[in-house]
């Protein structure tokens, strides 16, 4: 699966899939020194009916703001684990968007330090209130 499927959540959701960032995360010195490509998918379950009826951005989640939040985590301070990146993204989203019911985050590292043939390594977490 390349991203989160629409069936991953029941109900209303805002989704950003395939965000690409270059960050400095990992256990080894080389991973922290040299920028690596990270792919991020985020799905936030959020009641969308009021925003749709009123056609009002203030009643929903601004895609640009959510993107910038994810970007700030990936471009922020180095961490060792993909799990930490995903947890930080989910925590920020739940804190910032009080109407969010749950958040699902997938973080992929496209060139993990593994001697072998693979497309990516990833973590996928779901957090709720």
- Active site (annotated) includes residue 17: no
Three-state SS letters, 51-105: HHHHCCHHHCCCHHHHHHHHHHHHCCCCCCCHHHHHHHHHHHHHHHCCCCCEEEE
Catalytic residue among 37, 95, 109, 115: 109
- The C-alpha atoms of residue 27 and residue 30 are separated, in whole angstroms, by 9
Catalytic residues: 109
């Amino acid at each position: 699966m390349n991203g989160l499927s629409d069936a991953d959540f029941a109900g209303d959701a805002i989704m950003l899939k395939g965000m690409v960032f270059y960050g400095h995360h990992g256990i080894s010195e080389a991973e922290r020194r040299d920028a690596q490509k990270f792919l991020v998918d985020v799905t936030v379950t959020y009641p969308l009916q009021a925003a749709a009826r009123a056609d009002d951005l203030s009643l929903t989640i601004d895609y640009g703001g959510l993107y910038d939040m994810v970007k700030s985590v990936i471009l922020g301070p180095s961490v060792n684990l993909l799990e930490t990146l995903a947890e930080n993204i989910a925590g920020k989203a739940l804190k910032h968007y009080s109407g969010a019911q749950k958040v699902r985050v997938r973080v992929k590292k496209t060139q993990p330090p593994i001697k072998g043939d693979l497309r990516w390594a990833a973590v996928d977490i779901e957090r709720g209130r």
